[in-house]
Amino acid sequence: MGPRLHVALDRLRLDGQPFALDEGASRHIQVLRLQPGDGIRLFDGQGQEWGAEVTDMGRKVVQVRLGERVANDRELPVRVTLAVGMPANDRMDAVVEKATELGVGAIQPLVCARSVLRLDGERAAKKVAHWQAVAVSASEQCGRAVVPQVHAVQSLAGWLKQDGASPVATHRGVLSLRDALPVRGWLTSQAAQASAGAGPNWCFLNGPEGGLAPEEESLALAQGWTAVSLGRRVLRADTAPLAVLSVMAALFEG
């Protein structure tokens, strides 16, 4: 099959004519020592994928030509957003990478009351661009033709206010250590509502190291979120959102 590479839709030539890959993708092809005529796969990050072939190996730029569309059905049957109080020490990189592999639809990085990692302004924008690149690489590796979006960093209170005014998901769960509903039972109940037409969009909110502050969780619950539990063990901030994605895949993909 050859390597899979993400190429933005506005760079693709859909008319069968050769076009240049960007510098990063070209370098990847060169490192692999591919030659004209070798096959690769290209996807646009929005669900479309094509077979392609290398047509020219320049010193800095590689030219390729699209071939036939390739069926790619590797998405979860529901859309899941993870709203994550950003863990520190590069653990957020792992959350983005593994969540992409597990089928997440979008990731919302949040600054919470107990956050160790606090980002704003240019530093936040650079981190989001880095995490988006991590999501691209993970999609290339795991076979997805969709790249999940990493949204701009927001404060939890600001995001909840925005979310409360215009809900992004029909089913919203706070991963909680309180007296919470077992996640399996809650998911089964909510899935039954989804089957009855309640909607396929889900969102899970998880705090940073130390969890959400009581007032933060209370604010979410007051806006219609449900406290759900992943079990008897206390999971790290970078483990819990991945665990719930695994449960979602097991439930909805059978």
Nearest to 62 by CA among 90, 29, 109: 29
Please name the residues in contact with 29: beta carbons below 8 A apart, sequence gap of 6 or more. Answer: 3, 5, 21, 40, 54, 57, 62
Which residues does 235 contact at the CB level (< 8 Å), separation at least 6?
243
Q: Is the pLDDT of residue 52 over 90?
A: yes
* Tens-digit pLDDT profile for residues 55-75: 999 888 999 999 999 999 899
Residue type at position 188: T
Q: Is 122 exposed, middle or buried (0-12, 13-18, 19+ CB in 10 A)?
A: exposed
Residue 71: how many CB atoms within 10 A of its CB? 6
Task: Give the bridge partners for 150, in sequence order.
Answer: 107
Q: How many Cβ atoms sit within 10 Å of the Cβ of residue 87?
A: 23
The rounded mean pLDDT for the chain is 90
- For 180, 194, 211, the CA distances from 208, given in Å and listed in that order, are 18, 29, 5
- The dihedral built from the CA positions of residue 103, 109, 115 and 119, taken in this order, carries a sign that is positive
Using only C-alpha atoms, what is the Rg of the chain? Answer: 20
pLDDT over threshold 80, residue 23: yes
Q: For 98-125, what is each residue's pLDDT tens digit?
A: 999 999 999 999 999 998 888 778 888 9
Neighbours of 173 (CB within 10 A): 24
What local confidence, expressed as pLDDT, does residue 82 receive? 96
Instruction: Name the residue among 125, 56, 139 with its Cα closest to residue 97.
Output: 139
What's the pTM value of the predicted model, to 2 decimals? 0.91
What does the pLDDT look like over 153-168, one tens digit per residue?
Answer: 999 999 998 865 555 6
The closest alpha carbon to 5, from 100, 161, 137, belongs to 137
Residue 214 neighbours by CB under 8 Å, 6+ apart: none
